[in-house]
Amino acid sequence: MKSVVCSLVVLLCVFRVGASEVVSIGTSTSLTSELLQEDRALMVYLPPSYSGTDKAFPVIYLLDGDVHRFTGFVGVLESLSTDTLGNQVQQAIVVAIPNTHRSRDLTPSTVPEWTFKDRVLDTFAQSGQASRFLTFLQQELFPFIEANYRASNRRLLVGESFGGLFAADVVLQAPTTFDDYLIIDPTALWDNNYLNRTLAGAGERPALDANVFFAFANNAHLGEIGLTNYQWGTTFATAIIRQATGTAEQHYFEHETHGTVAFLAWYNGLRALLSAQN
């Protein structure tokens, strides 16, 4: 009841002519996960044509979804899916998932000490719980979103760095979970070439009934680490693209680094995967 009163008062404030009104790009909410035994914050963006129609929309799940990334990604999507940039892309719902324990949820194997050629890159108190996080998505988050919003049956996953590693691992372990994968500069260096090792160990795989877009940055300034991450990443992408039956592309952004590539990846990836023509 308190929440209903609050909502009414908020509406009254928002629609008072001449007053200051909030420009909203969505709502933040939270979901208590039985599986993860924790509350998970979420931010949900609804597209401009959501209200006033009864249409259902594709849902884009955005990993590492803090408020700045959510704002940036929504900005790209809203520009591309309105007159601003010529309605090139379909309107869609965005569900941003902020991290609680990033290395725990997004990495697919347990690696307390992450090394490359005897050099320690990082150490992690928690890692290797990607499959549990995927189960959370499948069994708790999707039902919550699909019960509360007009979601179509098309799901997209957007992940970068460890998030890209997670998305690539979903392609390996449970490819039909999503219809589209936007995989941005994934951490192919993880666990001594985990992605290609796992792919090689899987034997003959069925055709991949999903669309994939890989974006790679120029990390040559990092030396052998950067070059190897790209080499292993593009080897993996090439193999996956060969298995895909739909849109399947990889792009190398020569003028962007690991820390800057997300933007052009979103821009080009959304145009490729969610084109208004498809």
H or E stretch covering 43: strand 38-45
Pick from 46, 59, 76, 171 the residue near its own copies by CB under 8 A. 76
Pick from 48, 122, 126, 132 the residue near its own copies by CB under 8 A. 48
Nearest distance from C-beta of residue 85 to its own copies, angstroms? 5
The DSSP 8-state label assigned to residue 112 in this structure reads S
69 class by beta-carbon count within 10 Å (0-12 exposed, 13-18 middle, 19+ buried): buried
Site stretch for its own copies (CB under 8 A), options 98-106, 151-159, 244-252, 258-266: 258-266
Site stretch for its own copies (CB under 8 A), options 110-118, 135-143, 199-207, 256-264: 256-264
Pick from 50, 56, 72, 124 the residue near its own copies by CB under 8 A. 72
Contacts for 180 with CB less than 8 Å, ≥ 6 apart: 154, 155, 156, 157, 210, 211, 212, 213, 273, 274
Question: Should residue 11 be labelled a site residue for its own copies when binding is judged by CB under 8 A?
Answer: no
Total of chain residues touching its own copies, rule CB under 8 A: 52
Nearest distance from C-beta of residue 163 to its own copies, angstroms? 12
**In the range 127-166, which residues lie near its own copies by CB under 8 A?**
none
Cβ nearer to its own copies, comparing 78 with 105: 78
φ and ψ at residue 150, rounded to 5 degrees: -80, 80
Instruction: Give the residue among 133, 127, 149, 123 at the shortest CA–CA distance from 51.
Output: 149
Site stretch for its own copies (CB under 8 A), options 79-87, 104-112, 173-181, 200-208: 79-87
CA angle (37, 70, 75) in 5-degree steps: 160
**In the range 208-247, which residues lie near its own copies by CB under 8 A?**
none
